[in-house]
Amino acid sequence: MSPWLSLVLALLVLGNDCSAAPRPRQPTVVVFPGDLRTDLTNKQLAEEYLYRYGYTQVAELSDDKQSLSRALRVLQKRLSLPETGELDSTTLAAMRAPRCGVPDVGRFQTFEGDLKWHHQNLTYWIQNYSEDLPRNVIDDAFARAFAVWSAVTPLTFTRVYGVEADIIIQFGVREHGDGYPFDGKDGLLAHAFPPGQGIQGDAHFDDEELWSLGKGVVVPTFFGNADGAPCHFPFTFEGRNYSACTTDGRSDGQLWCSTTADYDTDRRFGFCPSERLYTEHGNSDGKPCVFPFTFEGRSYSACTTDGRSDGYRWCATTANYDQDKLYGFCPTRVDTTVTGGNSAGELCVFPFVFLGQEYSTCTRDGRTDGRLWCATTSNFDSDKKWGFCPDQGYSLFLVAAHEFGHALGLDHTSVPEALMYPMYSYTEKPPLHEDDVKGIQHLYGGPRPKPEPRPPTTTPETQPTAPPTVCATVRPSEGPTAGPTGPPSPGPTNAPTAGPTGAPTAGPTDSPTRAPTAGPSVAPTESLDPADNVCNVDIFDAIAEIGNYLHLFKDGRYWRFSEAQGRLVQGPFLIRDKWPALPSKLDSVFEEPQSKKIFFFSGRQVWVYTGATVLGPRRLDKLGFGPEVAQVTGALPRGGGKVLLFSRQNFWRFDAKSQMVDPKSASRVDRTFPGVPTNMHDVFLYRDKAYFCQDRYYWRMNLQNGINQVEEVNYVTYDLLQCPEN
């Protein structure tokens, strides 16, 4: 089945380059060991292609020149190529181009799917993820791909978490369970099934492709001064060109990259995902690797797959695994993981020696095909280990938009400019062509008329959907940037240079003082002022469970909510009546369950109340936070006086007794809590469940069962506080 044959190596030209006179540089061509060469003849390639995509019924065309020519004409017509009936270079190039796996002629299925969906409120589930892109970027790509279609139809697409979804999205490799195997890198990229029950309507993506946004690997950054912006490859640093993250210029071995093309001018940077920054899964809470570490008596100074049969790279997070048994998995390095060659899946090693020269980036030297490659050991000349460097990758957004077209009932078109043309091509323009719009509107009609301009009330236009299960979902918002999970957007408050100014300080106290009053004494009364109604608050400053009440803070006031008391909301109360030292704007609040101390955070300041006694304000530095932490955006008490403190996309372990964070515990939110938005503004614990808030929504996660999985996404007001939906 495999058409590939590996070639035996031979170094063709190895000049002895000690001549004195300068002479024109001869391109040195090297035959790389393990380089894949197709052994398919053009005719075999054509036969396989024609069969796979529905142009012929049998794989073997025998030697009937007539039938091959006939099939080629059909294909050429379908793909809008010159109809020669010959296997000419244009046709061969088309057959080698990356494309969708759905046949051009006939249906994908052996059993008939429906032509279209019979309901308009479709649901989708992202079942798993590719490692090539950050999860929130994948979520966003799919949401935008659905929005392409919802913009021109009455259809809506709602993300859910479970098999009841109409459209289940999956990444897989080779045979992935449906009898239509993928083919490794390039070639076939993805496929989808027409509408219907079960696998019908599902979309599958080949995870041996490099998934990107169409313009190279997407590497998110951490810390630094670019607020999580992705790396910009290539970038220049001290006049040199870098196509991957580097440790150059640092003594601590941390990988970093520039987030603009020119670091020397712009000086914007962040740290790249690496095992020296954090690990994933494992049992160490995301702690970074410790090198060297000992495993089965041997010393390791890099991540290893030893001791595992699944090929995952891991490391110990203490110096001795044999003794401590603490470990984590090493983050994928999408910027330097090679494909092909003879060490696929390993990392480029920079610098490496090739023909006696040192290379610190990928190179095209030695190749006739112009592809970038690198060595995976420090010396190619002696070790001969190499692979191809990451290329531009395929735009997950564009491929998904195409596949979702199939999932809605569309077939391929012969209009090369249309989204539903079977071949992949990258564009930055809106992907829909008139032909696509005509096709989808033939099935579903045009978009619903827009509602009348919204009256100036606070009544929400979008009501939460109420599916029969507990796992309700968020409606994608209009427009191309759907849903609350967007790409990592730089928050305005995450400035790296945390100056000496925090929030306005509330009073001159830096030592425990007596509060003059002891909290609200007046029973809340019914108020007719809409501003007093908790249900009219879109986004709360902070939410925390204090003394069995959920407290919701906003602009100097707070409400108390108890489910035990018939879902009663009390308030608003004034923050200054109960906690007079506090500013009116809070970022986050938590009560440490053992000591009943309440921690209040605002900007770079923290106050700790014990009853009516306050300590603070103190600067976050006093808790062990570095200057890069501009605010604390949430807290999850974890028992035993331990608390997880959040700041945007990172979190730390905090010891409430010593009132210090463990600076080494810095971890990424999306690694430990997959599926929650990375730019949330509040995190709190309520009735033993973790809530991550963004915009008007919360993501609820059950931390008790050991699997950190989002079990519900819903509105804070309607679903948590049981506000009427009007």
Q: Which of 403, 545, 591, 712 is catalytic?
A: 403
Q: How far apart are CA 140 and CA 364, in angstroms?
A: 34
- H-only helix segments in 28-83: 42-52, 65-78
Q: Which is nearer to Zn ion, 168 or 219 (CB)?
A: 168
Answer for the pair 603, 587: CB distance below 8 angstroms, yes or no.
yes
The answer to the question of whether 232 is labelled as a binding residue is: yes
Assess 178 for contact with Zn ion (CB under 5 A): yes
Question: Tokens representing 36?
Answer: 């894949």
CA distances from 679 to 463, 489, 632, 636 (A): 23, 7, 12, 16
- Provide, rounded to whole angstroms, the least separation between the CB of residue 205 and Zn ion: 9
- Provide, rounded to whole angstroms, the least separation between the CB of residue 400 and Zn ion: 11
Q: Which is nearer to Zn ion, 178 or 725 (CB)?
A: 178
Q: Rounded to the nearest 10 degrees, what angle do helices 396-407 and 434-444 cross at?
A: 40
The answer to the question of whether 176 is labelled as a binding residue is: yes
The answer to the question of whether 40 is labelled as a binding residue is: no
Q: State the maximum Cα–Cα separation within the chain, in Å, rounded to a whole number.
A: 99
Backbone angles phi, psi at 73, to 5 degrees: -65, -40
The answer to the question of whether 412 is labelled as a binding residue is: no
The region of 72-80, 173-181, 519-527, 565-573 touching Zn ion under the rule CB under 5 A is 173-181
Binder of Zn ion out of 78, 204, 681, 696 (CB under 5 A): 204
Question: Three-state DSSP class for 407?
Answer: helix
Which of 428, 485, 403, 390 lies closest to 132 in space, CA to CA?
Answer: 390
- Provide, rounded to whole angstroms, the least separation between the CB of residue 129 and Zn ion: 16
- H-only helix segments in 171-285: 263-266
Which of 445, 410, 547, 418 lies closest to 154 in space, CA to CA?
Answer: 445
Q: Please identify which residue in the block is written with the tokens 């503004």.
A: 681
The answer to the question of whether 178 is labelled as a binding residue is: yes
The region of 200-208, 267-275, 509-517, 559-567 touching Zn ion under the rule CB under 5 A is 200-208
Known catalytic membership, residue 403: yes
Residue whose CB is nearest to Zn ion in the complex, by number: 100
Burial 443-458 (b: 16+ CB within 10 A, else e): ebeeeeeeeeeeeeee
Assess 100 for contact with Zn ion (CB under 5 A): yes
Q: Which of residues 490-549 bind Zn ion (CB under 5 A)?
A: none
Q: Which is nearer to Zn ion, 86 or 178 (CB)?
A: 178
The answer to the question of whether 188 is labelled as a binding residue is: yes
The answer to the question of whether 289 is labelled as a binding residue is: no
Which of 723, 321, 295, 325 lies closest to 538 in space, CA to CA?
Answer: 723
Size of the site for Zn ion (CB under 5 A): 4
Q: Is 717 left (phi over 0), alpha (psi -120 to 50) or beta?
A: alpha
Q: Which is nearer to Zn ion, 75 or 608 (CB)?
A: 75
- Provide, rounded to whole angstroms, the least separation between the CB of residue 416 and Zn ion: 14
Question: Three-state DSSP class for 345?
Answer: coil
- Provide, rounded to whole angstroms, the least separation between the CB of residue 100 and Zn ion: 3
Q: Please identify which residue in the block is written with the tokens 């007079």.
A: 580
Question: Three-state DSSP class for 236?
Answer: strand
Strand 211-212 vs strand 394-395: parallel, antiparallel, or unpaired?
Answer: parallel
Which of 683, 713, 720, 700 lies closest to 562 in space, CA to CA?
Answer: 720
- Provide, rounded to whole angstroms, the least separation between the CB of residue 417 and Zn ion: 15
The region of 36-44, 135-143, 203-211, 366-374 touching Zn ion under the rule CB under 5 A is 203-211
Q: How far apart are CA 585 and CA 570, in angstroms?
A: 20
Q: How far apart are CA 120 and CA 113, in angstroms?
A: 17
Q: How far apart are CA 671 and CA 281, in angstroms?
A: 7
Q: Which is nearer to Zn ion, 172 or 571 (CB)?
A: 172
Backbone angles phi, psi at 328, to 5 degrees: -150, 165
Neighbours of 30 (CB within 10 A): 22
CA distances from 260 to 211, 235, 268, 720 (A): 21, 7, 7, 42
Q: How far apart are CA 223 and CA 272, in angstroms?
A: 9
Binder of Zn ion out of 102, 272, 401, 713 (CB under 5 A): 102
Q: Which is nearer to Zn ion, 100 or 432 (CB)?
A: 100
- Provide, rounded to whole angstroms, the least separation between the CB of residue 440 and Zn ion: 14
The region of 37-45, 140-148, 172-180, 428-436 touching Zn ion under the rule CB under 5 A is 172-180
Q: Which is nearer to Zn ion, 102 or 141 (CB)?
A: 102
Which of 488, 487, 460 lies closest to 474 in space, CA to CA?
Answer: 460
- Provide, rounded to whole angstroms, the least separation between the CB of residue 83 and Zn ion: 22
Q: Would you call 154 exposed, middle or buried from its count of C-beta atoms within 10 A (0-12, 13-18, 19+)?
A: middle
- Provide, rounded to whole angstroms, the least separation between the CB of residue 210 and Zn ion: 19
The answer to the question of whether 209 is labelled as a binding residue is: yes
- Provide, rounded to whole angstroms, the least separation between the CB of residue 72 and Zn ion: 20
- Provide, rounded to whole angstroms, the least separation between the CB of residue 407 and Zn ion: 10
Assess 614 for contact with Zn ion (CB under 5 A): no
Helix (H) or strand (E) holding 672: helix 669-672
Q: Which is nearer to Zn ion, 179 or 449 (CB)?
A: 179
The answer to the question of whether 335 is labelled as a binding residue is: no
Q: Which is nearer to Zn ion, 100 or 389 (CB)?
A: 100
Q: Which is nearer to Zn ion, 100 or 219 (CB)?
A: 100
The region of 81-89, 176-184, 506-514, 637-645 touching Zn ion under the rule CB under 5 A is 176-184
The answer to the question of whether 545 is labelled as a binding residue is: no
Q: How far apart are CA 516 and CA 538, in angstroms?
A: 32
Q: Which is nearer to Zn ion, 85 or 405 (CB)?
A: 405
Report the helix count and the strand count for the chain, using DSSP H and E.
Answer: 11, 38
Q: Would you call 711 exposed, middle or buried from its count of C-beta atoms within 10 A (0-12, 13-18, 19+)?
A: middle
Non-local (6+) Cβ contacts of 101 within 8 A are: 180, 182, 188, 189, 190, 191
Q: How far apart are CA 716 and CA 700, in angstroms?
A: 11
The region of 94-102, 128-136, 344-352, 615-623 touching Zn ion under the rule CB under 5 A is 94-102
Assess 648 for contact with Zn ion (CB under 5 A): no
Residues in touch with Zn ion (CB under 5 A): 100, 102, 178, 204
Known binding residues: 100, 132, 166, 176, 178, 183-184, 188, 191, 202, 204, 206-207, 209, 232
Q: Which residues are annotated as a binding site for Zn(2+)?
A: 100, 176, 178, 191, 204, 232
Active site residues: 403
